[in-house]
Amino acid sequence: MTDAALHTPATIPAGIATERLILRPFTVDDTDDRYAYQALPEVVRYLYRPALTREGCEESIRARAHAGWSADGDSLLWAVCRADQPGVLGEVVVILTNARARQAEIGWVFNPGYAGQGYATEAARALAATAFESLGVHRLFARLDTLNTASARVCERLGMRQEAHLIENDLDGERWGNEYVYAMLAREWKA
């Protein structure tokens, strides 16, 4: 990519449709659906933050309502919904961690009631495609607790490689957590 392309504004789609899913920006009407899984201990045990309150869910939805994609820290947080029924199954996020180097972090959180049906992989694959093809990301990475085997499998299904295994790099309550970093480059996505 040329230096001129580095400064080309990214095209943020209004949403993404896959075979079974719709990925779209959250609205405040999604707050209760989001809170239903964001408050569960089995969901937040692998996140790098405490459980969200209902108010915290609504606040983060409002804060990202007019998100851009040009500066470090900009992010797109999208609700993942089934195409054939109402309600939010989970969420995917992509965060611009280094705008100049076009580095972005991808993540996903799903209601455990929808586990084992391939939704996380399908949604993450669609968001990765958007990151590389529309947002101009050069390197996409995911950070996850080494105990989060389900997310490690999603990374592997996406074709990401494990780049790092960090030992006791995070204190989760009283437990030292280990972390994997998975990543993929834009040229590898295209291949």
Query: For every one of its 191 residues, what pLDDT tens digit does the chain have, with 9 covering 90 and above?
Result: 444 444 456 788 889 999 999 999 999 999 999 999 999 988 988 887 888 999 999 999 998 876 789 999 999 999 999 999 999 999 999 999 999 999 999 999 999 999 999 999 999 999 999 999 999 999 999 999 999 999 999 999 999 999 999 999 988 778 899 999 999 999 999 98
Q: Which two tokens stand for residue 31?
A: 């707050």
Position 100, amino acid: R
**pTM of the model as a whole:** 0.91
Q: From the CB of residue 96, how many other CB atoms can be counted at a distance below 10 Å?
A: 24
Q: What is the 3-state secondary structure (H, E, C) of 37-62?
A: HHCCHHHHCCCCCCCCCHHHHHHHHH
Place of tokens 């809170």: 35
- Quick check: helix, strand or coil at residue 123? helix
The CA-atom distances, in angstroms, between 181 and each of 78, 104, 118 are: 22, 12, 21
Instruction: Return the bridge partners of 105, or none.
Output: 95, 141
Cα separation, 131 vs 127, whole angstroms:
6
- Name residue 94's amino acid: V
Structure tokens at 69: 């994609």
CATH assignment of 3-137? 3.40.630.30
pLDDT in the model for residue 187: 97
Q: Taking a C-beta distance cutoff of 8 angstroms, is the pair 144, 180 a contact?
A: yes
Length of the chain measured in residues: 191
Cβ atoms of 34 and 95 within 8 Å: the answer is no
**Which pLDDT score is estimated for 4?**
40
Taking the C-alpha atoms of residue 162 and residue 179, their distance in angstroms, rounded to an integer, is: 11
